Amino acid sequence: MVNRLTCKLEAFGPLPEADRFLLDEVIRSAQAVGPRTDLIREGQTPSDVNLILEGFACRYKVLPTGRRQIMAYLVPGDFCDLHVFILKTMDHGIATLSACTVVKISRARILELMERPAIAKAFWWAALVDEATLREWLVNVGARKAEQRVAHLLCELLLRLRTVGLTTGNQYELPITQAELADTVGLTGVHVNRILQRLRADGLITLRSKNLVILDEERLKAFSNFNPNYLHLAEQDGLPEQCL
Amino acid sequence: MVNRLTCKLEAFGPLPEADRFLLDEVIRSAQAVGPRTDLIREGQTPSDVNLILEGFACRYKVLPTGRRQIMAYLVPGDFCDLHVFILKTMDHGIATLSACTVVKISRARILELMERPAIAKAFWWAALVDEATLREWLVNVGARKAEQRVAHLLCELLLRLRTVGLTTGNQYELPITQAELADTVGLTGVHVNRILQRLRADGLITLRSKNLVILDEERLKAFSNFNPNYLHLAEQDGLPEQCL
DNA sequence: CGGCAACTTGACAATGCTCAACGCGGGTGG
DNA sequence: CCACCCGCGTTGAGCATTGTCAAGTTGCCG
């Protein structure tokens, strides 16, 4: 089975054989976590770093009103909290959406990995891309209208999942309910439902039993004004292709 | 004149005398920048790190539709792009809002500073707080309704400016137009105008010629569900007070 | 087969947007 | 010093988008 973490990191640049080996080591002690389960709760002090190997997780906050906002999707290859060592308490929660397999990596282990220059740089890149993605989500929710928000999110996931080898063509598993999608893009479940139907009617997507097909990638990207620059995937001269 | 950067960093923890001296050094070569001026544009490759000493700047993106989304306010003591060394191109622009004074710090200088453990840790903290703030803005725009979005933003600025000594009581300079506020919270200029009037009518704030007074801090915080935990100000045992 | 969660649909209400006009105020040039 | 102008703030009316509530329907899992 492919190492999703290595896959992802090599989207930034190739890693030495030895580093890849090291990453394979780290990933051994995976554990299964059920869906809708907190990995860390707001207010807690994290000790280990969580790395997602399978499934979808998310960062989220719940307001006193009961409204929940999802602030990030964590997909295979993503770290949950790479350098929260410094902050004492979590200001948000992290929970699985689907069933996941997760690795807990100790602080010591992370520091050990960071001594490898190529890995350290790749970790940095991953953290910066996470932040850039967060910014794009703010743009999505703040500046795009409902239909394009959803479309944009689907485009982003296509690229992100593609870099870790979790797409087949223009199709991927989206193990998420419409209500969760709604909490992501700042809309109502009902409204998201209607939007999905419009996207289907427009021949842009197919979505049945958590299986998403993007029928016309170019048209969906154009429709949602999708500009992939914030994922910083194509910055190296040569792109490694071993995950596709 | 107080060193806003030191002020801010010491909100995380006290710095050794020598470190403070070093930071004072760095700040000497300030330059003035007019309002509404780009510091970096999307697509460019940054060389230096910008540090704001006076005035307000912002991160922003402009969509093809013309809609602009402001993704962060950069106030005195804030770095614009502490570790974008790694990414090749900017995925967003940074521009001044008001007239500013800015210091350009070379990459070498930053690395030099990062060798001081206390400074390095404080820089880390600052970067993580920036990210936490970004998350809170996503919550703000995605999950709160218009009136509370604005109120929440005003509360946040009160705390942030207070830590760098730019408030007098519950009052501070807000050198920003209503249209810019609108681009920040994902609303229309017209609507922001009406909201401000409602906040005034409710006796929560006063805002005249860029001068904001929060008339009832507790009520405004309660109204906007403001929880300052994401600013991570009170995590150290002893809070330094030299900036107040 | 039952049950529950997710999805779907409709009618209506509320929130926020658009467009358009006007006032105010500070700065500039005559 | 005055007049003008332009950017910003303000206001109103009507409209569009999105939310709310409530009632089905579907589909999966036990």
pLDDT at position B82 is: 83
Mean pLDDT of residues grouped by 10 in chain B (244 residues)? Answer: 90 94 93 94 92 97 96 97 84 96 93 93 94 98 97 98 96 97 98 97 94 96 97 65 48
Residue A53 CA to residue A64 CA, distance in Å, equals 32
Band (pLDDT 50/70/90 cuts) for residue A244 is very low
From A200's Cα to the closest Cα of chain B, the distance in A is 24
DSSP A171: E
CA B104 to chain CA centroid, Å, is 17
Asked if strand D comes closer than 7 Å to B206 Cβ, the answer is no
pLDDT at position A85 is: 78
* Closest nucleotide to A207, Cα to C1': C7
* CB atoms A185 and B142 under 8 Å: yes
> Residue B104 corresponds to which tokens in the numbers above?
């350009």
pLDDT at position B172 is: 97
Helix (H, G, I), strand (E, B) or coil at A197: helix
**Which chain A residues 188-217 have CB under 7 A to strand D?**
188, 190-191, 209
Please report where in the chains the tokens 């910014």 appear, as a residue: A135
Band (pLDDT 50/70/90 cuts) for residue A186 is very high
* CB atoms A87 and B63 under 8 Å: no
Band (pLDDT 50/70/90 cuts) for residue A239 is very low
On chain A, the residues whose CB falls within 8 A of the CB of B143 are 61, 63, 67-69, 186
Chain A: which residues have CB within 8 Å of chain B? 43, 59, 61, 63-65, 67-69, 71, 83-84, 86-89, 91-92, 121, 124-125, 128, 131-132, 134-139, 141-144, 185-186, 225, 229-230, 232, 235
pLDDT at position B218 is: 96
pLDDT at position B236 is: 54
Give the helix/strand (H/E) hosting A31.
strand A30-33
* Interface test mutation site (partner B, options A79, A88, A139, max chain B beta carbons within 10 A): A139
On chain B, the residues whose CB falls within 8 A of the CB of A223 are none
pLDDT at position A1 is: 63
> Residue B70 corresponds to which tokens in the numbers above?
């402001």
Closest CB to B128: pick one of A63, A67, A86.
A86
| Å: B117 CA to C28 C1' | 53
Helix (H, G, I), strand (E, B) or coil at A124: helix
Which residues sit opposite A88 in a β-bridge?
none
Which of A12-16, A79-83, A180-184 has maximum average pLDDT? A180-184
Contact (Cβ atoms closer than 8 angstroms) between residue A165 and residue A244: yes
Distances A89 to A81, A123, B57, B137, B149 between C-alpha atoms, Å:
12, 22, 29, 19, 24
CATH of the domain at A88: 2.60.120.10
- Helix axes of A189-201 and A146-163: crossing angle, nearest 10 degrees: 80
Give A125-154 pLDDT, tens digit per residue: 999 999 999 999 999 999 999 999 999 999
Q: Which domain holds residue A234?
A: 4-243
Give B200-223 pLDDT, tens digit per residue: 999 999 999 899 999 999 999 999
From A143's Cα to the closest Cα of chain B, the distance in A is 6
On chain B, the residues whose CB falls within 8 A of the CB of A71 are 135, 138-139
Give the 3-state secondary structure of chain B. CCCHHHHHHCCCCCCCHHHHHHHHHHCCCEEEECCCCEEECCCCCCCCEEEEEECCEEEEEECCCCCEEEEEEECCCCECCCCCCCCCCCCCEEEECCCEEEEEECHHHHHHHHCCHHHHHHHHHHHHHHHHHHHHHHHHHHHCCHHHHHHHHHHHHHHHHHHCCCEECCEEECCCCHHHHHHHHCCCHHHHHHHHHHHHHCCCEEEECCEEEECCHHHHHHHCCCCHHHHCCCCCCCCCCCCC
Helix (H, G, I), strand (E, B) or coil at A49: strand
Closest chain A CA to residue B121: A86
Amino acid at A65: T
Query: How many domains does chain B contain in total?
Result: 1
pTM above 0.75, yes or no: yes
DSSP A28: S
* CB atoms A141 and B141 under 8 Å: yes
pLDDT at position A81 is: 85
Mean of all residue pLDDT scores within chain A: 93
* CB atoms A225 and B64 under 8 Å: yes
Residue A53 has pLDDT above 60, yes or no: yes
Average pLDDT over residues A182-188: 98
On chain A, the residues whose CB falls within 8 A of the CB of B71 are 135, 138-139
Give A97-126 pLDDT, tens digit per residue: 999 999 999 989 999 999 999 999 999 999
On chain B, the residues whose CB falls within 8 A of the CB of A124 are 83, 86
pLDDT at position A236 is: 54
